[in-house]
Amino acid sequence: MRGQLILIEGLDRSGKSTQAGLLTERLAQAHSSQLYKFPDRSTPIGALINKYLTDSSFQLDDHSAHLLFSANRWELYTELLQALNDGKFVVLDRYIYSGIAYSLAKSSLKHASSELGDVDWLYSPDKGLPKPDLTLFLSLSIEELGKRKGWGQERYELEQFQKEVKSCFLRILDPSKDSTVHLVNVEGKSIHEVQQVIWDVVVEAGCDKLTELPVQKLD
């Protein structure tokens, strides 16, 4: 029996880290659980990503940046897989869909005909990573996001860019094509209310229990 892999995705300040932390604690009431946040800025590649995100004078080609975010996930791959197979529940705060959506958004706004507009190209470096058993996308309006604390300090936190990122997320995360994907509308909901909605989806999907199914791979 193994633990389940649950991903929380969303725009900046949509409440991912808050909810990923609360979900990890809730799961820990019955199981062992662990939280992984991407980018993980504590690794060698993560340190480079942190510099890229926080220092506007540090330039990287957008394709290279895309591959670095994926390489950062591969840095944690063995550990993450081991945790699941040891029976731990793993909660992810961002993962491959952030990788695809942010690069795709750059392609629409900056490089009309580059590889960054090709979803297959964007997806390929992550092929082989564990596929989440459940993906929750926290959805709210750009106006509401702008009111939240800490907005506007990093490279991608511009309103027009966030609008584009949102439409790219909704293009690649389609519940009608993948039953493990759920859109959670968090507009006007308190932290506690969002936590309850998320928990209801987790229980409904059977993702609060150990499973015999092998870990799926992104293919």
Position 50 contacts Mg ion (CB under 5 A): no
Provide the strand spans (E) within 20-139: 33-37, 89-93, 134-139
Using CB under 6 A, which of 18, 43, 108, 114 touches ligand Z5A? 18
Provide the strand spans (E) within the chain: 5-10, 33-37, 89-93, 134-139, 181-185
Contacts of 218 (CB under 8 A, 6+ apart): 96, 123, 126, 127, 128, 129, 130, 131
The alpha-carbon radius of gyration of the chain (Å, integer) is: 17
Residues 144-163 that bind ligand Z5A (CB under 6 A): 148-150, 154, 156-157
Position 12 contacts ligand Z5A (CB under 6 A): yes
Of 197 and 211, the one with the shorter C-beta distance to ligand Z5A is 197
Residues 69-88 that bind ligand Z5A (CB under 6 A): 69
Position 125 contacts ligand Z5A (CB under 6 A): no
CA distance 187 to 184: 9
Binding mask 28-57 for ligand Z5A (x = CB under 6 A): ----------xx-------------x----
Amino acid in the structure at residue 85: N
Stretch binding Mg ion (CB under 5 A), from 17-25, 28-36, 176-184, 207-215: 17-25
Q: Which CB contacts under 8 angstroms, 24+ apart, belong to 148-153?
A: 148/13, 149/13, 150/13, 151/12, 151/13
SS3 212: coil
Peptide bond connecting 175 to the previous residue in cis, omega within 30 degrees of 0: no
Position 18 contacts Mg ion (CB under 5 A): no
Of 2 and 73, the one with the shorter C-beta distance to Mg ion is 73
Task: Report which residue's Cβ sits closest to Mg ion.
Answer: 17
Using CB under 5 A, which of 17, 43, 50, 108 touches Mg ion? 17
Using CB under 6 A, which of 2, 94, 166, 182 touches ligand Z5A? 94
Of 117 and 211, the one with the shorter C-beta distance to ligand Z5A is 117
CA angle (96, 98, 99) in 5-degree steps: 60
Residue numbers at the binding site for ligand Z5A (CB under 6 A): 10, 12-18, 38-39, 53, 69, 94, 98-99, 102, 148-150, 154, 156-157, 186, 189-191, 194
